[in-house]
Amino acid sequence: MQHSGRRFISCALFLVSSIVLLTQVIGAKDEKLKPEQVIAKHLESIGAPEKLKEIKNRATKGSAHVDFRVGGQANLPAEANLISDGLSIRFSLKTPALEYPGEQFVTDGNKTLIGQISPGRRSNLGEFIFVNDELLKEGLLFGTLSTSWTFLRTDVKQPKMDVSGPKKVDGKSVYEVKYIPRRGSGNITAFFDFDAETFRHVRSQFKAEIVPTSGQKITDSADTIRYTITETFDDFKQVDGLTLPHSYKLDFSMDNPRGGFVGNWSYTIQQIAHNQNIDRQVFAMN
């Protein structure tokens, strides 16, 4: 009887400990990171807080390529540079083609300037950013390549955010932060993907739907124009104690019942420099 009693107690203790362990495992799997936790881990992936505070401006330069696959023809080499100083950004891309000389996107954090490819005419991408200039003013474009990167200042910007994941996106395990800016046109919904292991920012996606209202009913969904910008970041390297991407790609598509557009811009960064003596005229609005 004593032997049976001891065996019963041992079995009961084993069962209890198993239940506790199982509960802990399930709880760990069910634990959901908050947006603030993802952002904190992301900032750590860039560099130490004191290093981030040291950086006042950043200048990048390199080679680029432009490819229009739908709604236009282009297969062009280019040169590009991205200069940022606090909230100010200037992205320049130049090609040798007269019909598409490139892009110029400029903001000082309050105003924006979008270059024209011919008098009175912007590119499809340029026109979209012109209408939705919060992409520049809120530091949403260009990720960690810019000192205006929105996640450096979420306490000030106070966007609406939610996080999902980890989940697979393009074969990578990521946490995805859904982000709705508090300022802007109200058209844009943003999604930012962070590697589930390193928390490096690897992908951004911006979506907008616009229903033309001229002579049409607002409910005429058949005429809805859908826009998507997808940015991808890769080839991370150390620069001045910070881990930054050296490969940048931007895909832009416009799904329009009257004619769509699909284009790709790639930028291979060959040089990154910090805390340079930058002339503020670089960000002039004229």
Calpha distance 139→150 (Å, rounded): 5
Q: Residue 14 — pLDDT band, cuts 50, 70, 90? A: very low
pLDDT at 157: 83
Tokens found for residue 220 = 């005429």
Ramachandran quadrant class, 86 (left: phi over 0; alpha: psi -120 to 50; beta: rest): left
How many other CB atoms are found less than 10 A from the CB of residue 14? 10
Peptide bond preceding 49 in cis form (omega within 30 of 0): no
In this structure, which amino acid lies at residue 86? G
The model's pLDDT over 241-264, given as tens digits with 9 standing for 90+, comes to 999 999 999 999 999 888 899 999
Q: Residue 50 — pLDDT band, cuts 50, 70, 90? A: very high
Over residues 142-170, the mean pLDDT reads: 92
Please choose, from the candidates 143, 117, 123, the residue with its C-alpha nearest in 3D space to the C-alpha of residue 68: 123
Phi/psi for 55 (5° steps) reads -80, 115
Give the residue extent of every domain in the chain.
32-283
Question: For residue 176, what is the enclosing H or E element?
Answer: strand 172-180
Output Rg (C-alpha) for the chain, integer angstroms.
Answer: 24
270 or 109, which is more confident: 270
Q: Which CATH class is domain 32-283?
A: mainly beta
**Whole-prediction pTM value?**
0.85
Phi/psi for 268 (5° steps) reads -100, 115
Torsion sign, CA atoms 37, 39, 40, 41? positive
pLDDT at 99: 93
Tokens found for residue 146 = 């810019």
Taking every pair of Cα atoms in the chain, the longest distance, rounded to a whole number of angstroms, is 99
The answer to whether 110 touches 121, Cβ cutoff 8 Å, is no
DSSP per-residue letters across 47-87: --HHHHHH--EEEEEEEEEEEEEESS-EEEEEEEEEEEETT
Which of 11-20, 81-90, 117-126, 146-155 has the weakest average pLDDT? 11-20
Calpha distance 174→197 (Å, rounded): 8
